[in-house]
Amino acid sequence: MMNTEIKVLDRGFVRLIDHMGSDLSVVNAARVSFGKKKDAFEEGDAKLVAYLAEHEHTSPFRHTALTLHVKAPIFVFRQWMKHRIGSEFNEISGRYVEFPEDEFFVPEHFRRQAKVNKQGSEGTIEAKDQARARASYLESCRGSVAHYKELLSLGVCREQARCVLPLALYSEVYWTVSLQAVAHFIRLRADSHAQWEIQQYAAAVRSVVEPIYPVGLKVLLVAGKG
Q: Same domain for 83 and 117?
A: no
Give the integer Cα–Cα distance in Å for 223 and 221.
6
**Cross-strand bridge partners of residue 105:** none
Give the integer Cα–Cα distance in Å for 53 and 36.
20
- 112, 132, 134, 189: which is the annotated catalytic residue? 189
Backbone phi, psi, residue 136, to 5°: -65, -45
pLDDT category of residue 1 using cuts at 50, 70 and 90: very low
Contacts of 153 (CB under 8 A, 6+ apart): none
Q: Same domain for 142 and 45?
A: no
Contacts of 161 (CB under 8 A, 6+ apart): 148, 151, 152
Rg (CA), the chain: 21
Q: What percent of the chain has pLDDT over 70?
A: 98
Q: Same domain for 151 and 48?
A: no
Give the integer Cα–Cα distance in Å for 197 and 195.
6
Q: What percent of the chain has pLDDT over 90?
A: 87
Specify whether the CB–CB gap between 26 and 32 falls below 8 A. no
Dihedral Cα 66, 85, 13, 195, nearest 10 deg:
150
Residue 189 catalytic? Answer: yes
Report which DSSP code applies to 106: -
Q: Same domain for 151 and 175?
A: no
Q: Which structural domain, as residue segments, surrounds residue 139? A: 112-164
pLDDT category of residue 223 using cuts at 50, 70 and 90: confident
CATH number assigned to the domain comprising residue 76: 3.30.1360.170
Q: Same domain for 25 and 124?
A: no
pLDDT tens string 31-50: 998 888 999 999 899 999 99
Amino acid symbol at 52: L
Give pTM, 2 decimals: 0.94
Q: Same domain for 173 and 89?
A: yes
- How many domains does the chain divide into? 2
How confident is the model at residue 31, as a pLDDT? 93
Q: Same domain for 18 and 89?
A: yes
Q: Same domain for 152 and 200?
A: no
